[in-house]
Amino acid sequence: MDKISVRLFGVPQFFLNGEQILFPYNKINALIYYLLINSFITRDEIASLLWPDENEKTAKKNLRNAIYQAKKCVGVDFIKSPKKSVLEIDKSLDITCDANLFNADPKANLDLYTGEFLQGFFIKDAESYEYWITKMRGYYEEKFISTSYDVLEADIEAGNYDDVEKRINTLTSIDEYDERNFRLLMKYYQKTGRNGKVIETYYNLTRFLQDELGVSPDSETKAIYEASIAQINLNTKKPKVRDEFFFGRFEELAQLTSAMTSSQGSAALIYGEAGVGKSALKRKLLETADNDTVVIQTYSYQAEENYALRPIGVLIARIGKVLKELKIPLPTFWDTTIKKLFPSFEDSSKEILLLENKQPLNFDLLSQVIVEAIKKISEHKKLVLVCEDIQWMDQTSIHLLTSVILRTEQDVFFLCTSRKQFNPDVDDMITSLTKYDKLTKVDLDRFNAEETADFIHRALPEETIPDELMARIYSETEGSPFFLSETVSILKTHNTASLINDEMMDAMKSRFAYLSKPEKDLLDIISYFYDEAPLSIVTELTGVGEIDIIGLIENLENANILLEREHQHDTGIMFTHSKLREYIYMMQPNSKKRVIHKRIAQILEDTLNVKKSLYTYSKLVYHYASAGDTLKSIKYKLETLNYYLNFSHELFPILNLSDLEDDEKIYISRDKISEMFQRLEESFHGLIGSDDDEVKHLEIEFYYMKGRYLIRDGIYEEGLRDIHYVIQKAKELDDKDYILDGYKQMIFYNIQTNNAKDMIEYIESALDLAVICNYHKEIGILLRLKGLYNIMIGNSILAEKLLTESINTFNVTDEVANRYAINIAAAMNYIGEIRFQDEDYDGAIAQYEGAIKLSIGKNALSSLSVFYINHGKALYAKGDYEEAKKAFNCAYSLYGQFDSFWKLPVLDAYMALLEVKSQDYDSAAHHLQSAYTFSKSMQDPRSLGTVYFASYQILDTVPEDILRTHFEHVFDKDKTAYRTLALEKLDKYRDGFEIRRL
């Protein structure tokens, strides 16, 4: 029985046995959708809904035609009329509809609601029908929302957290003002122990409601928030036990340990970016301190960097406490200096407050008092003073700390940590302390790939990590110890779908907490570029002047968030760590992402008018795909592949992309091409069959490239099928360019198979079309191909005339000559063949050398390889074997850089002959074996004939004992058989040199 399936949620679709059915006009769809939902309707009812402006007779006539067309398209009589005035769906058929299934049991069928009812569906001049659609949309949406709330509440309560966030986000996208969505999310975070996320969600909701509606969250939402606050306060009172894995910093640890144990008032600075392991190294160092060592620590915070002496106040309070505990008398001037600045130091339970003192600070006296206090403690105990994150220490505190370190000579060690971000006061401190040999500076960098792998293996000795996953770990963490530690935690769960967790998110969030809005907005824009953001595009996107943008970038560089890369024509801006970019990008709404990605793609698209490049194509694919524009993404995937194949697989390409970047590589491997074709076909599959002309043109382009590639690779049957399909479809669309391209591929196929008879038919058809279209340059190419045809039939005089005419067509201007340089070179190559056939070897060599000169530096490697082979053959014929070998080796050096074996059997055959002459028989046997392998795959009779010719020559000249020793596995026939085979395969008009020597 036939199965009909209809989707009414999201974009409506009608399927018969899994195949989508498309109806001629929308009112047929409207009839079917209305009938499916209502099951039983009258003709008058539906006719008045769909054709309200028509009289009854016309409306019913239109209805009868719509019913007829619906049945005709489906091929199944699924609409019944039990009475003349009514219509219904045939209940005996296997018909399913997502809306009906959802309506019958919404809890069991929640997943069927994939979008609003009849999303995007519209019919003109049917207001009542539109009202019905709107009413049903509201009905189903409300049913989905209420059911989703019930299910989510139950799942959260039961601890079933599968896709909870995703489902809540779906509800929020439907109604972003419904506070219930946020409460559900907060309950979920609370149940999973993520109280920090509860608070973040509450603050975001508060800000959103204030900005949009001018109200505050209700009491129920606030109660969830307050419960999390209480839980956090409770948790912070519990002592935290640290069981820390330490890796790879043992040289730095030894350096710091030496500085600490031998210190006489010296200092050390651990310097590196956030997450590089500064605090872990500090903790490991302090573990090595003696038990009776007094460690006093102070921390600087970004929020307090503008508060003078705040970290020093904390340090002094703790020094005062130690003095009190050790019952050491207070230093001179302690009361008159310290108490005035920090009056609450004696009561360590009170908060340290810096009073605004109207009297100027006596800096030297304060420094002297602190030094004296340190000296008193060091007389009783070994003292270590730790200052963390001094990049956020206020200027006064840094100057005071520097002064204290310079004045201290007792048994005390100052240990500081600083992030790698610009702070002129910290730089001055480093310079001053280094000058007086008072500082040991330890720079920490990220781990390299080898160290990263070692880190993972040591942290997870029981686990086997595949190389592919290890490479991904290094790519995503970039060797950052913090990210690696968190990745280890993820790997322990055996869930590697995402290598990012809440701790990473929180750490990254703190990096951006104190940035200004313009700085955050700039980071948002830069995050849309997966590698680096060109400054010119950032300026155009933001609408902010370049000078202002540069100022913001400088601030973010100083904060070690961004870095710059200079290029010839622009500046690239990128994040210092890929995880920072991922975090910023992840935090932005999908709707904004689609808009920004599309705008970036449009800006990049405009640059193609000036300069085409692979770099731009790859960016266009990424940005259009991210913008949800599948068609454009596929278009530029095709452009990318076409660009590669034009050079790697077109024998004589046109240099319409001659303005390549100097470092732009155009080689692509066979495996990569197959992968690209496979992925393109997968993404293309859903579009093929569409009535959209652009889709049809993309389809033609795709099969043209595929057919061209297969023909060049010797896979003729499938390749020819694709090219015939291209010609047929191009004729249907009257696309003369692709008709012409299809003809040319058929010509190239006949060149490869040495079939002159069929070749001339396509040449004449192509020439007629090129003349009609007034394509002068295509005429030049086709004249060359017609010249080749005349070589193939032995008419060398007409051939040379046509080839010369082809060259003259391209030499009209220097610009045209440069663009069509490879085509000019190809014509010279064929003239060289004529000279070679006439035994004018010097004339042939001159033509081949001219072709080579024109091709060098043009990236047309497959063309250049053919020219080198022919050049080598002419030198061989002339008896200049050393130069011939050089030419052949030049050809060999190119074959690894493009993915085609065209003419490789000829190269191997002649190299084998040269190696026999130099008595290198093993190499000769290897090359001859290779020649047989590739000639069979290419199915080129002339190439195979050349291999048979070489076999005959070797059997005829090499002694029997050497043949048995070195060539036994190569030959399975006698020399007479090889001579016969060679004469069968070689072309009497093009292979005279070989034939005359048989």
pLDDT-derived band at 285, boundaries 50, 70, 90: confident
List pLDDT tens digits, range 689-708: 566 778 888 888 888 888 88
pLDDT-derived band at 653, boundaries 50, 70, 90: very low
Portion of the chain with pLDDT greater than 90, in percent: 26
User: CA 316, CA 370: separation in Å to the nearest integer?
Assistant: 8
* Secondary structure E strands in 462-543: 533-534
Asked if residue 279 has pLDDT above 60, the reply is yes
Looking only at the bridges linking them, the beta strands covering 533-534 and 571-575 are: antiparallel
**Range 357-365, long-range pairs (CB < 8 A, 24+ positions):** 361/396, 362/337, 363/399, 363/400, 363/403, 364/403, 365/333, 365/337
Q: Which helix (H) or strand (E) holds 397?
A: helix 395-407
pLDDT-derived band at 238, boundaries 50, 70, 90: very low
Query: Which two tokens mark 548?
Result: 């202002």
Asked if residue 9 has pLDDT above 70, the reply is yes
Q: Supply the mean pLDDT for the chain.
A: 83
Least confident segment among 692-706, 801-815, 820-834, 968-982: 692-706
Answer for the pair 541, 595: CB distance below 8 angstroms, yes or no: no
Which is more confident, 689 or 735?
Answer: 735
Least confident segment among 145-154, 383-392, 511-520, 623-632: 511-520
pLDDT for 800 equals 93
Asked if residue 205 has pLDDT above 70, the reply is yes
Q: What Cα–Cα distance (Å) separates residue 368 from each residue in 69, 341, 342, 497?
A: 99, 15, 16, 58
Q: What Cα–Cα distance (Å) separates residue 171 from each residue in 109, 110, 164, 214, 233?
A: 16, 12, 11, 22, 32
Answer for the pair 249, 281: CB distance below 8 angstroms, yes or no: yes
* Residue at token pair 């398209």: 73
pLDDT for 944 equals 92
Answer for the pair 579, 481: CB distance below 8 angstroms, yes or no: no
What residues are paired with 296 via a beta bridge?
A: 385
List phi, psi (to 5°) of 297.
-120, 145
pLDDT-derived band at 664, boundaries 50, 70, 90: very low
User: CA 85, CA 937: separation in Å to the nearest integer?
Assistant: 69
pLDDT for 213 equals 73
Asked if residue 686 has pLDDT above 70, the reply is no
Q: Give which of 443, 88, 515 is closest to 249, Cα–Cα.
A: 443
Mean pLDDT of 176-196: 82
What residues are paired with 16 via a beta bridge?
A: 4, 19
**How many Å is the Cα radius of gyration of the chain?**
39
**pTM, rounded to two decimals:** 0.46
Q: Which residues contact 320 (CB under 8 A, 6 or more apart)?
A: 330, 338, 345, 346, 348, 373
Least confident segment among 620-624, 856-860, 927-931, 948-952: 856-860
Q: Which amino acid is at 747?
A: I
Answer for the pair 920, 881: CB distance below 8 angstroms, yes or no: no
pLDDT for 602 equals 92
The side-by-side arrangement of strands in the sheet containing 79-80 is: 40-42, 86-89, 79-80
User: CA 532, CA 286: separation in Å to the nearest integer?
Assistant: 40
Answer for the pair 571, 533: CB distance below 8 angstroms, yes or no: no
List pLDDT tens digits, range 930-949: 888 888 766 778 899 999 99
Q: Which residues contact 259 (CB under 8 A, 6 or more apart)?
A: 266, 268, 413, 440
Asked if residue 344 has pLDDT above 50, the reply is no
* Residue at token pair 């592919």: 468
Answer for the pair 386, 282: CB distance below 8 angstroms, yes or no: yes
User: CA 831, CA 838: separation in Å to the nearest integer?
Assistant: 11
Measure CA 451 to chain center: 25
Asked if residue 621 has pLDDT above 70, the reply is yes
Asked if residue 649 has pLDDT above 50, the reply is no
* Residue at token pair 């040591």: 458
Portion of the chain with pLDDT greater than 70, in percent: 87
Least confident segment among 199-213, 470-484, 759-773, 945-959: 199-213
pLDDT for 358 equals 40
User: CA 726, CA 917: separation in Å to the nearest integer?
Assistant: 49
pLDDT for 648 equals 43
Mean pLDDT of 883-891: 93
pLDDT for 663 equals 39
Query: Which two tokens mark 762?
Result: 């396509």
Mean pLDDT of 107-114: 89
Looking only at the bridges linking them, the beta strands covering 3-7 and 13-16 are: antiparallel
Phi-psi region of 879 (alpha: psi -120 to 50; beta: other; left: phi over 0): left
User: CA 806, CA 784: separation in Å to the nearest integer?
Assistant: 6
List pLDDT tens digits, range 408-437: 887 789 999 998 877 888 998 999 998 888
- DSSP H stretches of helix in 587-660: 590-607, 614-626, 630-648
Q: Which amino acid is at 998?
A: L
Asked if residue 375 has pLDDT above 70, the reply is yes
* CA angle, residues 617, 618, 619, in degrees to nearest 5: 90
Answer for the pair 852, 871: CB distance below 8 angstroms, yes or no: yes
Q: What Cα–Cα distance (Å) separates residue 669 from each residue in 676, 713, 868, 898, 899?
A: 11, 13, 22, 7, 6
3-state class of 385 per DSSP? strand
Q: 329-340 burial string, b = 16+ CB within 10 Å, else e? A: ebbeebeebbee
Phi-psi region of 122 (alpha: psi -120 to 50; beta: other; left: phi over 0): beta
3-state class of 3 per DSSP? strand
Write the DSSP string, 539-575.
HHHH---HHHHHHHHHHHHHTTSEEEEE-SS-EEEEE
Answer for the pair 78, 69: CB distance below 8 angstroms, yes or no: no
Q: Give which of 246, 275, 277, 280 is closest to 578, Cα–Cα.
A: 275
List phi, psi (to 5°) of 839.
65, 20
Least confident segment among 851-860, 915-924, 957-966: 851-860
pLDDT for 351 equals 37
pLDDT for 720 equals 93
Give the DSSP letter of residue 612: -
| Residue 963: burial class (beta carbons within 10 Å; 0-12, 13-18, 19+) | middle
Q: Give which of 14, 79, 72 is closest to 40, Cα–Cα.
A: 79
Asked if residue 665 has pLDDT above 50, the reply is no
List pLDDT tens digits, range 535-553: 999 999 888 888 888 889 9
Mean pLDDT of 380-399: 88
Mean pLDDT of 247-272: 80
pLDDT for 668 equals 55
Answer for the pair 907, 892: CB distance below 8 angstroms, yes or no: yes
pLDDT for 916 equals 93
pLDDT for 380 equals 87
Q: Give which of 412, 326, 325, 401 is closest to 366, Cα–Cα.
A: 401
List pLDDT tens digits, range 301-342: 665 666 677 788 888 888 888 888 888 888 877 777 776 666
pLDDT for 243 equals 45
Q: Give which of 180, 2, 169, 155 is closest to 76, Cα–Cα.
A: 2
Answer for the pair 117, 8: CB distance below 8 angstroms, yes or no: yes
Mean pLDDT of 19-25: 88
pLDDT-derived band at 346, boundaries 50, 70, 90: very low
